[in-house]
Structure 1
Amino acid sequence: MSAFNLKGKIALITGGASGIGKAISLKFAGNGATVHLLEYNSEEGEKTAQEIQDLGGTAHFHQCDVSNHQQVKQVIDGIPKVDILVNNAGIAHVGNIEGTSEADMDRLYQVNIKGVYNCIHAVIGKMKEQGSGIILNMASIASSVGIPDRFAYSMTKGAVLTMTYSVAKDYVEQGIRCNCISPARVHTPFVDGFLAKNYPGKEKEMFEKLSKTQPIGRMGKPEEVANLALYLCSDEASFITGTDFPIDGGFIKLNA
């Protein structure tokens, strides 16, 4: 167990069964937290919860659509105590404004913005009563710099960034910390699926091309984001709130 001990902590992780979310779930459970996975995909959610249990950790799976306010409330009301909320669930979209339909905009808003609102709204009362709590939101480098063909996605992640600042300001005196992480490209199953769908037969070539857009020369690993999340949700980060943490291989500063 690392220095960043979460023993005795109850952590709720949305989208916690794949990609970055799964890496965070495994990392938190491996460092002592009881993990509650809020996941839309039942098969993946059950599989990840079982994997954590097989490794000696404690995990509970809750099938949940984070865009559904009542469903989120019902799930979280059933968890007596929440020390940590990680708002990781989100969906991507590729396209400029002309390539973004009204349906696209509505779908991204419902998951990426309203989903974060729903979860924070459901836990904030518990955290106030406890006099403590940690909220960690997953934003993106697209929150703060222009990325080609990411119009709707950038809009939603910009909202996540500013929600982070607002919640941190409003609840700092109640002992609640709120920060966000802004990754650049991270190698997740979404990336593999995107390449297979859009560049059949050229997946390796395009993967290398996308990797080289990061100044460090590669994509990030989900485990690297999970390591940062572990620190920010540990007692070692108790003096940190209202802050965005890019984890981007130098993308923001070195591409200027």
Structure 2
Amino acid sequence: MNKRTKIALYVFLALSACLFIWRFQSNYARLMKEGETKTDTDLINVKVPDYQRMAAPAKTDYHLGGWGAGMVLSLVGLGLMVAHDVSGLVGGRALKVIYNDEGEGITSPDYEKAEEEWANGNFLEAIQLMRDYLKQNPREQHVALRIAEIYEKDLQNFLAAALEYEEVLKQKLPPERWGWAAIHLCNLYTGKLNQPDKAIALLQRIVTDYGRTAAAEKARKRLAQLEEEGIVPTATETAAAPAPSTSNLPPGFAPKKL
């Protein structure tokens, strides 16, 4: 969704919400006003109000259900858009903090320009700008992860996303960061790409090479789950077969012991 469309949708939902809220409140107030008990100033012959009649007003043109439903739907739509944009902004900032090896936020105008292109819906242009930035700043591997995220979530190109993650894993990263990037790649292998063999090999590598990390604990659980599903062979199935005999003797004859 480009920036203009998003702004137009925000304006439409906000105006719709205001309209529905106003109409609902005005009709509800009119209903309550017409349902009020009329006061009789005659203190001698006091009339008892007919509450049954007042409980069911004759007019039914208030349409509170329709105005209320429109109000709820417009507010829900507006809330979902705000939540999506806020989560994307917070997620991007968190990714910068986690994967910036220098421990500082990214304030480069070049990178911010790439994020602006992404916000405007120009995903391919944003990826190219991020690649250019990554060439000049190879240590900031969070940019490569951001490229993979755009391929996966925005462009739905899961193969390209997996290739980006594979390139990230070739870099020298802290164990925990490497492990979680590998876990994400495994999810692509077992999900969208349907390549369980690659996922199993990578999960086993996480356990073997980074066994003390939280990512390794996640990998162990995932391997156990795949084993229950029959995707990973059990220990008895993977037991090594006996090595073939190198003797030239006929079957049934054993080499002479020295």
Higher share in helix: 2
- Tell me the TM-score normalized by structure 2: 0.24
Higher share in strand: 1
Larger Rg: 2
Q: Which has the higher contact order (CA 8 A, sep 6+)?
A: 1
- Tell me the TM-score normalized by structure 1: 0.24
